[in-house]
Amino acid sequence: MILGTVLLIIGGVGLVLTLLSLFGAEIGDVDIDLGDSSVGLLSIVTPFATGFGLLGGGLIVFADTGILPALLVGLVTGIVLSLAAVAVLGFLVGSEEELPSIDVLGSRVRVVEPVSPGRYGVGEIQTPLGAQQVTITCEQSLAHDAEAVIVEKVDDRDGYIVAPLDLAN
């Protein structure tokens, strides 16, 4: 019974980490996004822990299954979920390489989230692939729906410096 409870806890932690890596979370000023940076061991281990722990522990605690059969079923389930995660991650990495690189310098931007000096906001540009949102900053304030043009890429961040677009001229 204790083993089943421990496995359920492992499965629960695996499930929480899997969900955080998929969707992320923002708690106050802390941004939790485990799956954003790259594909790594955590992307494969968390589905394994989820399947192994939840199924193995669930069979032991709720179905009064013997320990060895429950562990084997949990192990197989964990391996299947890990292989599925590897297949999905491989597809996503492969499809990312197929996307063309788009030069956005000189592109017209519609401000989605307002920008003020020293602060970043979000702008929307039109590309051949459709609308794309980019992080922007400006030396002056730009309100929602203001028009601007991208003039420079920020070196140390994935963002762009924009200049207001004067429609009067």
Tell me the per-residue pLDDT of 1-50, one tens digit each, with 9 for 90 and over. Answer: 788 888 889 888 888 877 776 665 555 555 555 544 455 667 778 888 88
The residue extents of the domains of the chain are 2-98, 108-164
Which fold would CATH assign to domain 108-164? Answer: OB fold (Dihydrolipoamide Acetyltransferase, E2P) (2.40.50)
Q: Is 7 in contact with 51 (CB distance < 8 Å)?
A: no
**Global pTM?**
0.49
Tell me the per-residue pLDDT of 120-164, one tens digit each, with 9 for 90 and over. Answer: 999 999 887 788 889 999 999 999 999 999 999 887 777 899 999
C-alpha 101 chain-centroid distance: 20
